[in-house]
Chains A and B, each alone.
Chain A
Amino acid sequence: MAERVVDRQNQYLRIEGVTKRFGDFVAVDNVSLGIFKGEIFCLLGGSGCGKTTLLRMLAGFESPTAGRILIDGQDMAGIPPYERPVNMMFQSYALFPHMTVAANVAFGLEQERIARPEIDRRVGEMLDIVKLGEFAKRKPHQLSGGQRQRVALARALVKKPKLLLLDEPLGALDKKLREHTQFELINLQEQLGVTFVVVTHDQEEAMTLASRIGVMNKGQIVQVGTPTEIYEFPNSRFVADFIGSVNMFEGRLIEDEPGHVRIRCEELDTTVFVSHGISAAPDARVFVAIRPEKIEMTRGQSADGENCVGGVVREIAYMGDLSVYLVRLDGGRMVRVTIPNIERHDERIVWDERVVLRWQPSSPVVLTQ
């Protein structure tokens, strides 16, 4: 797959201090964001975090209580949805049930008073791109879920919008189809070079699609970064916990050097050595987050030293490609460890075996908030 052409100089969409209140409820709380031309930006968050409200403000269905939205330098205040250079793909697809596939796709072009032959040509082109050429004369109810999704996409893209907004684009598809469609969506975006803003609650979807992710919680953007940054370097307990699974231990900072820190964790009954510096007050209360796949598990009786704890296997979940182990530490705390099943006939660790858990000094993330 070709590397996406993202113009990092050109902040195509600027959201400046946007707030939206519904009565007393603050749906979107002072959000500022810059989105680059040609990227796929995912707004990720749980239900009610304000991501859909933010998307609806971009489309023009809601107007911000405060703040500005600029698309390509133009302030969108007071511009109705039908005059914005933006198209949206709805979660329910919102296909017009009384029109054929071709009429659905042509609807947007007809509003621009383009000549009929030109409309027909562009509709045909678009339907070929989403591989629906032979379904042009069907009505939406005569299509399968995946086909409807592609009609919705074609209808939104045929107007060549500067910005395409996608509300849970894969939410209504089953798992197998979703994975397939994710890659199709990325290919299509690269082919057409349109900037995508995707709203989703599905972290896996966000990780595969996005060039950058904005994690939202309670109306605020908590962290913005590439999928790798968000996963490997979460900036808060919320993000670490929301994306993937994580083992979180509370501890006290006992040594704070520019190149490393040491943290005493009572729950682990050991000291965690982290090979990078952090910015926190000495003796501060901090949290150590370690991803389950970054823990190494071996059979063994006792553990001593830093970054090393002993425990007993309590639960094993075999998932095929990997196995999830729940290990009870000697202090009583449960720890989640995932081990890839590389060998088919491996002598796997089983229930109630004593194990030793170790991790690299570079693996833990230290969180202060």
Chain B
Amino acid sequence: MNDRGVFRNSILGLGLAFLYIPILSMMFFSFNNSRLVTVWDAENSPTLRWYVRLFENEQLLGAAWISIKIAALSASGAAILGTLAGLVLTRFGPFRGRALLSAMTTAPLVMPEVIMGIAMLLLFVAFEQMIGWPAGRGLLTITIAHITFTMAYVTVVVQSRLAGFDDALEEAALDLGARPATVFFKITLPLIMPAIVSGWLLAFTLSWDDVVISQFVSGPGSSTLPMEIFSRVRRGVSPDINALATIMVLIVATGVVASTIWMKRQERKRLLEEQMARSDTP
């Protein structure tokens, strides 16, 4: 190996270390037997003690369940609203207020979360006083707040997919006798589905790990998992949090690896089929 190769590999090593050492050390210490997170108990480790403790902890499991519910609901809401916004912004031409709508749907991308949180809280309180809805704060208010800020991401993803969409496809469907609603459900929707799904996943992830906004609009008994972790850590980091984090990392990593492999396979299959098509007689 020449000097350049050595240099390149050491830079790569440093970069990877910078990215992954925090996560790996956390996973490593989740198998530590010691009550003190940073002291390695060499005699009794590794152990699964904290994993067992974790599954006995009703409060953490409950918070995880709440988080999943909120993330799934708000991601679905954001996917629907974000798709509609993306469609309107790309397909309806220059209508009055288009620039305003475009700015407002994407504002949460750059808006500080603290401000979003306060604004949401004030709004919910004012609404409760005026019309009595939403009564108190809890799952519902967190879900609404999450829809508001995750919708922006779905809109951006769907919009970029629609921008690369051949308008002739929709025109062809109209020309073949399909009414506009049929065109949407049979042609447009299936074709932008990948964008909607990735928007949904993005929204799910964002909702899943949001602390700041949830903190403002949550009520008693509606602590999400990140909120629960946050409040526990403030009282001192306990090793069962390490165990929980390790499980979460493994779930995410499995998902990412599986989807990457699947996408690679699809791509290879597609290339192969295109090659076969080209070698066919006309």
Chain A residues close to B by CB (< 8 Å): 59-61, 80-83, 86-88, 90-92, 94, 96-98, 107-108, 111-112, 138-139, 141-147, 155-156, 159, 177, 180
Contacts and interface: CB of A to CB of B under 8 A. Distances in A.
A155 B186 CA distance: 16
**List of 3 A-B pairs having minimum Cβ-Cβ separation, nearest first:** A146-B282, A108-B176, A111-B177
B172 A90 contact: yes
B179 interface: yes
Nearest to B273: A142
Nearest to B272: A142
A103 B183 CA distance: 14
Contacts of A146: 282
26 contacts: A60-B174, A81-B171, A81-B174, A82-B179, A83-B177, A88-B172, A92-B166, A92-B168, A94-B168, A94-B169, A94-B171, A96-B169, A96-B172, A96-B173, A98-B190, A107-B186, A111-B177, A141-B277, A143-B277, A144-B280, A146-B282, A147-B280, A147-B282, A155-B172, A156-B175, A177-B282
B178 A107 contact: yes
Contacts of A86: 175
- How many chain B residues sit at the interface, stated as a range, is 20 to 34
A159 B274 contact: no
Contacts of B171: 59, 61, 81, 88, 90, 94
Contact of A82 (B177, B278, B282): B177
B265 interface: no
Nearest to B172: A94
A86 B187 CA distance: 20
Contacts of B173: 96, 107
Contact of B176 (A87, A91, A98, A145): A87
Contacts of B187: 96
Contacts of B35: none
A156 B173 CA distance: 10
A1 B218 CA distance: 80
A264 to B, nearest CB: 54
B276 A142 contact: yes
B272 to A, nearest CB: 10
B277 A144 contact: yes
Nearest to A152: B172
A194 to B, nearest CB: 15
A110 to B, nearest CB: 8
B275 to A, nearest CB: 10
B9 interface: no
Contacts of A180: 282
Contacts of A81: 171, 174-175
B233 interface: no
B270 interface: yes
A92 B171 CA distance: 12
